[in-house]
Amino acid sequence: MSFKRRQYPFHLIEPKWQRHWASEETFRAWNPREERPADHPFTLRHGSTALPPKYYVLDMFPYPSGQGLHVGHPEGYTATDILARYRRALGYNVLHPMGWDAFGLPAEQYAVKTGQHPRKTTEENISNFRRQIKSLGFSYDWSREINTTDPDYFKWTQWIFLKLYQSWFNPEPNKAEPIDSLKIPDEISSPAETRNYRDEHRLAYISEAPVNWCPELGTVLANEEVIDGKSEVGGFPVIRKPMRQWMLRITAYADRLLEDLVPLDWSSSLKEMQRNWIGRSEGAEVQFSLGSSDRQMPVFTTRPDTLFGATYMVFAPEHSLIDELIPEEWPEGIPDGWKTGGISGSEPKTNPKEAIRFYREYASKKSDLERTDLAKEKTGIFTGAYALNPVNQEKIPIWIADYVLISYGTGAIMAVPAHDSRDLEFARQFNLPVREVVKSPENEDSIGFTGNGTSINSGMLTGMATPDAKKTIIAWLEENGKGRKTIQFKLRDWLFSRQRYWGEPFPIAWDENGHECLTEESLPLLPPDLEDYHPTKEGQPPLARATEWLNLPDGKRRETNTMPQWAGSCWYYLRYLDPSNQQALCDPAVENYWMGTIPESEESSSPPKGIVSKGIDLYVGGAEHAVLHLLYARFWHKVLFDLGLVSTSEPFFKLVNQGLIMGEDGQKMSKSRGNVISPDEIVLDYGADSFRLYEMFIGPLEMVKPWNTKGVEGVYRFLGRVWRLFIDEKAEKEFNQKCVSGQADPDQLLEVIQLDFRISNAPPTKEQTKSLHACIQKTTEDLDGMRFNTAISALMIFINEAMTWSERPAKILVEFLKLLQPFAPHLAEELFKKLIESRLLSPENESTGSISGLSYQPWPEFNRDLLIEDEWLMPIQINGKLRDRVTVPTGASKEDLETAALASEKIQKLIEGKQVRKVIVVPRKLVNIAITS
């Protein structure tokens, strides 16, 4: 940029005001009963006793990566900052905090490579992120900055884990309760059994289930972190492996997580994603008796009405019940195709045991990737065993196949190939019988029909419509003890442990009897320092290397897993409320003020406009967290709510996902594509105000949009025009010379600059007032609707008009600065200061000057009456096509408008000789004349 003259001295203005805001603590958010300095602008506006209503506007806090920010990161931050500043102007007590989600894999991987402690890497990255974010002039309350890797912070993450550990989910009140309230059944007597029973009911419990193990990363991953059989981080292969893991009982909350979505102000697509993830489906559990034994096997189906069409049964390969069923020899007359597994090149197996061993091995070797990729070709093998269909006692073969998942439903299905596409595919592969039991309404071939129709070939169900058939068969099953209505969820319990170093250690110790939790008083439990961050040779997590840390004096051993990165972000929005509280994760009164539904008793009597919502008023972040973070955080919040620690059942009342900003090539910004643009270069060339403005002007917040640095120049030119509207050219020339030559203090340099001589205390003209009020109206309405791009265009329109004025009334300009302030705060502050110092404002506006700075100036209000024109240009259409425009008085009646339209010469000519069928008059819009052609 050295080759171009600056539009205005943003390089002096921006650091100046950032320093001012920091030293004044302009953006401190005040907690109830917190003492406020008398000269703070908040106090000057609101007094020192009452607190106005709160507005909590939150950004998803970043993971501070080594690469620093790119221009996509601050998109949401800019939007929330504009709204934070707008709400302050409206008179709210605004909480707008920032912090760091700093545990995580990249710092650890760097440590593995270099031996540098992840804490060091993390701190370096944080200070770079902080520098970048601060350079953009966001109005964060930095006194509330948090860091998930800070022991003062993760102490409370561990504390919440203890709460989870010490709670169970009581299905009766449908909420979590302390584990002591869990009744131990009478048949359980021994201490060991009692202990087991408790441990099995905790919200945090141990499971041996197969997990997603990533050998490359040396850790297990949650289902959510595995994408197409590869790790979300790094894209390494993931295999299934049984391991001892901590789980969190999120499934207990499935119903509440689903139901409580309804009142939230979230986009429907986001809610839908959560609903799909939770995956509630209604159906029935049906008991099949297993051939030779008197055992029963339940299966889950959403289509119990098709029970008569069940021609075989399939178990998941991992299902252990199979072992008890398989015969020594193949039954008579089994086709060889049933014995091969459907795997190319495989020979028929000699007996069922061999077949099952073979198939299990085959299935377990498949990675998740292959399991989905090879989905086109179904595989499976006959077990030699049979089951009895409860409705007709028909003997049907039992298979194992990997298209049936061990983790969903009962791990086994009844297969109805005629009316389920997967079963049909499988049946065709192995020549299994297909029996039609639902007639499609179109009366076509009903094989493969999966919708609602009419039952056929189905005993007592025959002739019934699908919904009736479902009800009837469920009633029959319940009466006969063969099944019941049930509900299944796709949601699984949350795999909560990781074999990593750089995460919160579990406050848990083990002995030969099992696990016990540490006391609350012993928290935080710090991770030990290590030389080597690799997992051990035995596949133990890196913490197992810290022998001193590991072994406790009483012979117990510490848990060596750590918590996943999601843990810290599950509750950070609560810590912001009371970030340095040593006694509690958050003071209840403070929590209630910022998050609660009940207004503080010290509430001001005249609340500003807008609704007072529950929880966080606005949460902005990327859609990539639509299921994981948002579901986990909602889950934790509900547990805390059940335990009486927070006052709302949902944390995020309104949530908006910002769209991605793509690179200039239209591709996703990434280091490998080389299309990353850093805010640093933009701030250097055009200043933070231009950067903020462009981020918002580029398009609607929620949309995906490409970056174009040329576009920054457009908004930069706009700010240049704002500057020139206020500033005297001659004084600026002097200033520029001093800038080039002198070593003078920047703040003094800015003093040289004087207002333009056309700015005066002259009374505004009608036109000028109208321009202003149109701008106020548009800006206000657009901010309320988060339409930042059109709000900015309204500001541009005002400036384009104001540039043509020969008299520039200070009274008008000061109001404009209040509108500009949320978007371009540095420039607005500087010009506001000049205007105040000029003493051009009339006495009733002088009160404006008693509050220092712009941040707490009341938001301008518009007067609709001023916007009404005396007359307007009314379009006249004939058959919907624009034919003429005539000027009409604003208050004209419908009759007058019709007369005026028909009086137009052009219209007269066009309707001459035609029959006017109808004249539609829409006041304030148009007149349309329908004629016959």
Choices 111-119, 185-193, 541-549, 919-927 (CB under 7 A): range interacting with RNA: 919-927
User: How many helices and strands (H and E) does the chain possess?
Assistant: 31, 36
- CB 908 to RNA: min, Å: 13
According to DSSP, the β-strands at 926-932 and 871-878 are: parallel
Q: Using the rule CB under 7 A, which residue among 212, 383, 488, 569 binds RNA?
A: 488
Judged by CB under 7 A, does residue 925 bind RNA?
A: yes
372 is a site residue for RNA (CB under 7 A): yes
**Least Å from the CB of residue 320 to RNA:** 15
875 lies in the binding site for RNA (CB under 7 A)? yes
Query: Within 10 Å of residue 751's Cβ, how many Cβ atoms?
Result: 12
Residues facing residue 59 across a β-bridge: 620
* Closer residue to RNA (CB): 17 or 300: 300
Q: Does 920 bind RNA (CB under 7 A)?
A: yes
Structural Rg of the chain based on CA atoms: 35
Interface pick for RNA out of 883, 900, 901, 904 (rule CB under 7 A): 883
Closest CA to 246 of 304, 168, 161: 161
Pairing of strands 146-147, 99-100: parallel
Check binding of 787 to RNA (CB under 7 A). yes
Minimum CB separation from RNA for residue 724, in Å?
A: 7
In angstroms, give the least distance from the CB of 822 to RNA: 17
CB nearer RNA, residue 232 or residue 603: 232
Map the footprint of RNA across residues 297-316, applying CB under 7 A.
300-303, 316
Question: Which residues in 715-774 contact RNA (CB under 7 A)?
Answer: 715, 717-718, 720-721, 724
Q: What are phi and psi of 465, to 5 degrees?
A: -70, 150
Could you tell me how far CA 249 lies from the centroid of its own chain? 21
The CA angle 189-193-195, to the nearest 5 degrees, is 110
CB atoms within 10 A of CB 662: 17
Distance CA 315, CA 385 (A): 11
Indicate whether 710 belongs to the interface with RNA (CB under 7 A).
yes
3-state secondary structure (DSSP) of residue 928: strand
Amino acid identity at 925 = K
755 DSSP assignment: B
Residue from 1, 192, 374, 744 binding RNA (CB under 7 A): 374
C-beta closer to RNA: residue 564 or 579: 564
Task: Check residue 879 for interaction with RNA (CB under 7 A).
Answer: yes
697 is a contact residue toward RNA (CB under 7 A): yes
- Least spacing, CB of residue 425 vs RNA, in Å: 7
The helix/strand/coil state of 464 is: coil
272 binds RNA (CB under 7 A): yes
3-state secondary structure of 415: strand
Distance, in Å, from the CA atom of 264 to the CA atom of 197, rounded to the nearest integer, reads 37
Helix (H, G, I), strand (E, B) or coil at 332: coil
Q: Which one among 273, 369, 752, 911 touches RNA, defined by CB under 7 A?
A: 273
- The contact mask relative to RNA for 111-150 (x = CB under 7 A, - = no) is ----------------------------------------
3-state SS assignment for residue 714: helix
Query: Of 195 and 271, which CB lies nearer to RNA in the complex structure?
Result: 271
Does the protein bind RNA through residue 926 (CB under 7 A)? yes
Q: Does 277 bind RNA (CB under 7 A)?
A: yes
- Min dist. Cβ of residue 274 to RNA (A): 9
* Residue from 36, 705, 758, 770 binding RNA (CB under 7 A): 705
CB of 759 to RNA, least distance (A): 17
State the Cα–Cα distance between residues 146 and 131, nearest whole angstrom: 15
Bond preceding residue 237 cis, omega within 30 of 0: no
Binding residue for RNA (CB under 7 A) from 513, 800, 847, 863?
Answer: 800
**Span of 147-155, 387-395, 557-565, 712-720 interacting with RNA by CB under 7 A:** 712-720
Q: Is 534 in the site for RNA (CB under 7 A)?
A: no
Query: What is the footprint of RNA within residues 388-417 (CB under 7 A)?
Result: 402-405, 408-409, 411, 413
- Regarding 276 and contact with RNA (CB under 7 A), the answer is yes
Q: In angstroms, give the least distance from the CB of 172 to RNA.
A: 26
Among 44, 182, 227, 851, binds RNA (CB under 7 A): 227
- H or E stretch at 45: helix 41-46
**Interaction with RNA in 332-371: which residues (CB under 7 A)?**
371
Secondary structure (DSSP) of 186-252? TT--SHHHHHHHHHHHBSEEEE--EEEEETTTTEEE-GGGEETTEETTTT-B-EEEE--EEEE-GGG
Distance of alpha carbon 732 from alpha carbon 741, whole angstroms: 14
In the region spanning residues 1 to 30, those forming contacts with RNA, defined by CB under 7 A, are: 3-5, 7
Out of 15, 448, 711, 858, the only residue in the binding site for RNA (CB under 7 A) is 711
Judged by CB, which is closer to RNA: 18, or 657?
A: 657
- 731 near 753, Cβ under 8 Å? yes
Shortest Å distance, C-beta 248 to RNA? 18
Q: Between residue 844 and residue 873, which ones bind RNA under the rule CB under 7 A?
A: 872-873
Sheet of strand 557-558, all strands in order from the earlier edge strand to the far edge: 514-517, 508-511, 557-558
